[in-house]
Amino acid sequence: MATQSVPDLEVQDLDSEGHATVTFRYDPRTQKLQVHHPQRALSPKTSLLTKCMSPFLPAGYPSSVRPDYTPYQIYDSVQAFASTIAGLLASRAVFVGMGVGSEDASLVTTMLLYIAQETIGRVATILFAYQFSQKIEAEVKFYRFFADIVNDIAFILDCLSPGLPLLGRICTLCVSNACRAVCGVSGGSSKAILSSHFAREGNIGELNAKDGSQETVVSLVGMWAGGLLVSKVQGTFETWCCLIPLLAMHLWANWKAVQSVRLTSLNKHRAVILFSALLQGRAKGPNEVGEEEPILGLGKMFGGSNDQNAFQVGVSVTKFLQHLPGHVNDSSRKYLYFAQLLGVFQEEDYLLWWDGQSNQGFVLLKESAKSETQAKAVCHLLRISMGLKAATKTGKPSQQHGPGQGPQEVFRDTPSPELNILSSIPGKNLNVHDQSLHSHDALDPVVQLIIDTLREHRQEWQNMRDLIQRLGWDVNLTNLVRGPCHRIQVNGAPFENKKDR
């Protein structure tokens, strides 16, 4: 029987970080399998540090997480340290208010106060989750920072409680517990969303587990430091002198932590910043938009408006009809506008209207609308807003682009090299031949502007979507709905027989 030749092979065993731990090499001369243990080029100090940090960092760090994970965790550790010490000072104040160490303290009174606090806290948990749970995902940065604000308010109320009469103390501690309950819902939900963002390789479970280990160590160190501080600080004035700087450090670290996050999903603020720049010929990635994004929602929108409700996505039909032209009791005129818009948007998964009186835009989503539909509709609203501003400046109706300048020419003339790609993608320039988009002299000016901008929008959207995806955005994670999302299903309308798109 002929001896079968074995090829010269080398197999490396890689650890979770991608480093070779064992190398198996077959030697044809000796016909034996040789085992080598390569030495890593690490100094003893580096190796020791790596071993000490490995229980607290995800496997494969830093390649297994996003780049903004590291600064976020550093600031998050600082805020957890300050929060632990401030919590000890607040807890001591609560114990004093309950009469711990006093002969006049009543066990029954303390138990009733505890029951009242827990009742208020759990009711606050249910009510807050019911009212705001649908908004947390879209505004995760705001609710992450909001959680720490209400937590600090709870600390302040705890420290105020010992100097109040019994009834005032009970009310203060109940409100304090409600603030902690709100912090738990808001902070827990937002942390889960941020973990899914940081987990680049789907390692959300491990990321949460290691985050818990980090918080445990930081809280333990803070507890020892806080215990030492509490034993040295006794008076009310000294307590406040320590508490205020700790709360300031806590809020500052939280602000920096949230500010360092670079989300790739589109919420209301990020969508406005991204599409406004894109329509003006500038492309912005998550890093640039993250620097401009307001955390507390105080940023300017639609070119200078501080109104956070400048547009609403996923509104009900009733609300949509309220903002259509016509008297509130003139349902026939409103229905005519509504039917006209249904005809205009028959090939789209959304309808929109811009109310010039309230300076707001409203988007009605069809049953087949997806996450990308929300982004597409908001970008269309921004086109309309720019068209109205141009008309206001010139004193006559105007489209977004200049005369004789089509949408592709606008992108071609922009200085941004990224945007020049839009006009060079083969097969992306769409010719729109839709009977619903023909101009009519008798149309309302806003309806005519909607038709004109929709024609441009259809031609450019595919290229715009491809561009923002190359910049790092995920349009499938778009969430522009604040609160309950309404959808419509249109039956019995001949123009709703949609063609395959």
Task: Give the pLDDT of the chain (501 residues) as one tens digit per residue.
Answer: 445 555 667 776 765 555 666 777 777 777 676 676 666 555 555 567 667 777 888 887 878 889 999 999 999 999 999 999 999 999 998 888 777 656 666 777 778 888 989 999 999 999 999 988 888 988 899 999 999 999 999 999 999 988 888 888 889 999 999 999 999 999 999 999 999 999 887 788 888 898 989 999 999 999 999 999 988 888 889 999 999 999 999 999 999 999 999 999 998 889 999 999 999 889 899 999 999 888 886 443 334 444 444 788 988 888 888 888 877 777 788 888 888 899 899 989 999 998 877 788 999 999 888 989 999 999 999 988 887 777 666 655 444 443 333 333 333 333 344 444 344 333 333 343 444 444 444 567 888 889 989 998 999 999 999 999 999 999 988 888 877 788 888 775 444 444 433
> Is residue 396 domain-resident?
no
State the pLDDT at residue 109: 77
Encoded amino acid at 194, one letter: L
Helix (H, G, I), strand (E, B) or coil at 33: strand
Q: What residues contact 344, with CB distance under 8 A and at least 6 apart? A: 351, 436, 437, 447, 450, 451, 454
Confirm whether 90 is domain-assigned.
yes
- Half-sphere exposure (Cβ direction) of 449: Cα atoms closer than 13 Å: 26
- Alpha-carbon separation of residue 417 from 156, 420, 422 (angstroms): 52, 5, 10
Are 156 and 11 within one domain? no
- Decide if 17 is inside a domain: yes
Is the CB of residue 446 less than 8 Å from the CB of residue 453? no
- C-alpha to C-alpha distance for 350 and 241, rounded to whole angstroms: 56
Q: In Å, how far are 317, 445, 462, 491 from 381, measured between CA atoms?
A: 18, 15, 17, 26
Asked if 95 and 233 sit in the same domain, the reply is: yes
Let me know if residue 379 belongs to a domain: yes
pLDDT of 298: 47
User: Three-state DSSP class for 58?
Assistant: coil
Under 8 Å CB-to-CB from 447, ≥6 apart: which residues? 337, 340, 341, 344
pLDDT of residue 6: 57
**Six token digits for residue 338:** 């509504």
Claim to verify: residue 377 and residue 471 sit in the same structural domain:
yes
The Cα-based distances of 296 to 44, 175, 198, 289 in angstroms read 45, 23, 22, 15
**Do 251 and 201 sit in the same domain of this protein?**
yes
Structural domain of residue 230, as residue ranges?
68-261
- Within this chain, do residues 274 and 240 fall inside the same structural domain, yes or no? no
Give the pLDDT confidence score for residue 403 in this predicted structure: 34
Are residue 342 and residue 455 in the same domain, yes or no?
A: yes
What pLDDT score was predicted for residue 426? 35
Q: Are 395 and 381 in contact (CB under 8 A)?
A: no
Please give the tally of structural domains in the chain: 3
Cβ partners under 8 Å of residue 292, min gap 6: 273, 299
- Taking phi over 0 as left and psi of -120 to 50 as alpha, with beta for the rest, 376 belongs to alpha
Q: CATH number for the domain including 114? A: 1.20.1250.20
Spatial CB neighbours of 287, under 8 Å, sequence gap ≥ 6: 262
Q: Are 203 and 274 part of one and the same domain?
A: no
**Distance (Å, whole) CA 52 – CA 46:** 10
Q: Establish if 409 belongs to a structural domain.
A: no
Please check whether residue 434 lies inside any domain of the structure: no
Burial environment of residue 455 by CB neighbours within 10 A (0 to 12, 13 to 18, 19 or more): middle
pLDDT at 355: 84
Written as one letter, the residue type at 393 is K
pLDDT of residue 358: 79
Give the span between the Cα atoms of 407 and 133, in whole angstroms: 40
Do residues 21 and 118 both lie within one domain? no
Q: What is the C-alpha to C-alpha distance for residues 122 and 64, in angstroms, rounded to an integer?
A: 37
Residue 453 and residue 359 share a domain = yes
Specify whether 200 is located in the same domain as 88: yes
The verdict on 383 and 240 lying in the same domain is no
In a domain, 419, yes or no: no
Q: Which amino acid is at 187?
A: G
- Cβ atoms of 466 and 428 closer than 8 Å: yes
Helix (H), strand (E) at residue 446: helix 445-470
Q: Which of 397, 400, 398 is nearest to 276 (CA)?
A: 400
pLDDT value for 345: 92
pLDDT of residue 301: 34
Whether 329 and 386 map to the same domain: the answer is yes
Per the omega criterion (within 30 degrees of 0), is the bond before 62 cis?
yes
Does 415 reside within a domain? no
